[in-house]
Amino acid sequence: MTAVARGPSSEGEEPAGIHARRAELWEMRARAVAGPSEKATAQQHAKGKLTARERIGLLLDPGSFHEVEQLRRHRAQGFGLEAKKPYTDGVITGWGTVEGRTVFVYAHDFRIFGGALGEAHATKIHKIMDMAIAAGAPLVSLNDGAGARIQEGVSALAGYGGIFQRNARASGVIPQISVMLGPCAGGAAYSPALTDFVFMVRETSQMFITGPDVVRAVTGEEISQNGLGGADVHAETSGVAHFAYDDEEACLAEVRYLLSMLPQNNHESPPAVRGSDAADRSTEALLDLVPVNGSRPYDMVKVIEEIVDGGDCLEVHERWARNIICALARMDGQVVGIVASQPQVLAGVLDIEASEKAARFVQMCDAFNIPIVTLLDVPGFLPGVDQEHGGIIRHGAKLLYAYCNATVPRISLVLRKAYGGAYIVMDSQSIGADLTYAWPTNEIAVMGAEGAANVIFRRQIAAAEDPEAMRTRMVKEYKAELMHPYYAAERGLVDDVIDPADTRRVLIRSLAMLRTKHADLPSRKHGNPPQ
């Protein structure tokens, strides 16, 4: 057997044999996998956190992970770094599978330099991101890091720039998912913000640009890390986090579920999963779920559960801007994106946050070839000084732009009311919906009958001996003339008025017909959406 030497041997010394070299490799790999020490691992567990490799084990199919640059070490000098050069340099990178489909991943190892990003660390992330883009497969980042490695100075900051640039290049090309499993402060928070979905874990993960100490020094406000940028704050108040969970196991299980609903890249369709729920199943229960009286609230989530396969859907941004619902589900095994008014919250009106939430979701669906079903029961845009001064015009225009720009199959269904600009914005036929349906309870109009009567007949009402009786009469007259269920159908503004019990069957057949839809946008570098 021929010996393979590492380098020049001393005079008279035999070069090591292949078996010795192999043993040396195994020992190096074992050190890399074990991490810095048992103490560091115990400290990580004491915080209620898993190690980077334990997280990867939960995310990927068993035995599928293939690590890249496991033996990479930094080359920095000074501040004691030259004496501390652990393998992996604090980030584990590679690829594996989720339900048999390739997924790329990188995971910060908080046990090594607190997961802080240095030059070698960043280069590893850049490489795995480039591989994901080239292979056309999703990228999942498991974030648990203390920001830039201060000892390496501007080189560490430049590493973040490379990550951001690749996040932008991959946007709309491959699904990008950020899972926050520890701290993420300063400029590091911008990478998750550039990705498609952000997951957080309560108590252990935080995201903020400036931490509590800086906030206290500048503004005098006292606040904890979780109060400033914890999972609940970002899931309910800021909208930065799409999902929040109590523990890492539940969080990573939901990441796997989300990946099962997404295509590998923008050239593919999401995977179909055939189940036992019949495509022509009647949705008779909808007759009792939705009150005919347009002022009575109900839970639109129950409507969605009735029409999708097995009543199963994944709601995105469930706790932020709750007056609108954005969800991924399957209908006859095919993935669809559902945008729906939620009459149970603010009567389902559109406001600034609801417009932003739905616009981003529509853009994501369009980027990844997911058909969009829109369920309308919307009384209009939320009036008020705060909304107008907050820019409801430009924020509402974001939703309008997203729908107008989408080329995937688009179907809208009016359950009850659809008034004013909100009706137009939420994928009406006039902005390009492929098919528009309505229930026989629909009211499509410029505004509600009461408001319309007050405007149109204000003189008659004011001059009447009994203004209230006149107003009631005029409201009935307006409804009879312009708001009856078939007014829009008679004018070709909806394609059909359907029986609520046929809703699932009609939507599935329509989606099947539209599956081969092809639409081209004008040639341009990119649009200039409202800000």
Query: Catalytic: 492?
Result: no
pLDDT recorded at residue 302: 97
Residue 9 has pLDDT above 60, yes or no: no
Average pLDDT, the chain: 90
pLDDT recorded at residue 420: 87
Residue 447 has pLDDT above 80, yes or no: no
Q: What is the mean pLDDT of residues 360-380?
A: 97
Residue 463 lies inside a defined structural domain of this protein = no
Same domain for 49 and 154: yes
Between residues 178 and 85, which one has the greater pLDDT?
178
Same domain for 140 and 46: yes
| Paired strand residues for 378 | 418
Residue 204 lies inside a defined structural domain of this protein = yes
Of the listed 17, 172, 211, 421, which one is catalytic? 421
From 390, 406, 274, 387, select the one nearest 330 (Cα to Cα): 274
pLDDT recorded at residue 517: 94
Of the listed 185, 367, 422, 452, which one is catalytic? 422
Query: Catalytic: 422?
Result: yes
Q: Sorting pLDDT into bands at 50, 70 and 90, what band is 448?
A: low
Give me the number of domains the chain comprises. 2
Query: Catalytic: 230?
Result: no
Q: What is the mean pLDDT of residues 166-187?
A: 94
Same domain for 356 and 392: yes
Taken in order 105, 268, 368, 165, the sign of the CA dihedral is positive
Same domain for 121 and 235: yes
Euclidean distance between CA atoms 231 and 271, whole angstroms = 30
Q: What is the mean pLDDT of residues 150-168?
A: 85
User: What SS3 state is found at 260?
Assistant: helix
pLDDT in tens, 107-149: 999 998 888 888 888 999 999 999 999 999 999 999 998 777 7
Burial category of 499 from C-beta neighbours within 10 Å (exposed 0-12, middle 13-18, buried 19 and up): middle
Distances (CA, A) of 190 to 178, 195, 196, 503: 11, 9, 12, 41
pLDDT recorded at residue 475: 75
Residue 233 has pLDDT above 80, yes or no: yes
Q: What is the mean pLDDT of residues 390-419?
A: 96
Q: What is the mean pLDDT of residues 146-170?
A: 85
Same domain for 114 and 257: yes
* C-alpha triplet 125, 56, 113: angle, nearest 5°: 55
Of the listed 186, 239, 333, 451, which one is catalytic? 186
Distances (CA, A) of 141 to 11, 55, 71, 167: 49, 11, 20, 11
Phi, psi of 198 (to 5 degrees): -125, 125
pLDDT recorded at residue 365: 98
Which domain does 342 fall in, by range? 285-442+485-514
Same domain for 303 and 227: no
Residue 241 lies inside a defined structural domain of this protein = yes
Residue 387 lies inside a defined structural domain of this protein = yes
Residue 180 has pLDDT above 80, yes or no: yes
Residue 488 has pLDDT above 50, yes or no: yes
Lowest mean pLDDT of 126-130, 282-286, 363-367, 481-485, name the range: 481-485
Between residues 487 and 247, which one has the greater pLDDT?
247
Q: What is the mean pLDDT of residues 46-59?
A: 95
Query: Catalytic: 432?
Result: no
For residue 497, what is the enclosing H or E element? strand 496-497
**Three-state DSSP string of 483-519:** CCCCHHHHCCCCCEECCHHHHHHHHHHHHHHHCCCCC
**Three-state DSSP string of 19-52:** HHHHHHHHHHHHHHHHCCCHHHHHHHHHCCCCCH
Evaluate whether 69 touches 82 at the Cβ level (below 8 Å).
Answer: no
Same domain for 327 and 235: no
Residue 460 lies inside a defined structural domain of this protein = no
Provide the CATH number for the domain around residue 438: 3.90.226.10
Residue 376 has pLDDT above 60, yes or no: yes
> Percent of the chain scored above 70 by pLDDT?
94
Q: Is 352 left (phi over 0), alpha (psi -120 to 50) or beta?
A: alpha
Of the listed 17, 114, 136, 187, which one is catalytic? 187
Evaluate whether 246 touches 202 at the Cβ level (below 8 Å).
Answer: yes
Q: Sorting pLDDT into bands at 50, 70 and 90, what band is 6?
A: very low
Same domain for 350 and 254: no
Residue 6 lies inside a defined structural domain of this protein = no
Q: Is this prediction's pTM over 0.75?
A: yes
Burial category of 82 from C-beta neighbours within 10 Å (exposed 0-12, middle 13-18, buried 19 and up): exposed
Same domain for 338 and 204: no
pLDDT recorded at residue 449: 65
Same domain for 249 and 298: no
Lowest mean pLDDT of 29-38, 44-53, 71-80, 209-218, name the range: 71-80
Residue 51 lies inside a defined structural domain of this protein = yes
Same domain for 294 and 252: no
Residue 332 lies inside a defined structural domain of this protein = yes
Evaluate whether 58 touches 250 at the Cβ level (below 8 Å).
Answer: no
Euclidean distance between CA atoms 313 and 328, whole angstroms = 6
Same domain for 289 and 256: no
Q: Enter the tokens of residue 223.
A: 């606040």
Residue 83 has pLDDT above 70, yes or no: no
pLDDT in tens, 309-329: 999 999 999 999 999 999 999
pLDDT in tens, 315-365: 999 999 999 999 999 999 999 999 999 999 999 999 999 999 999 999 999
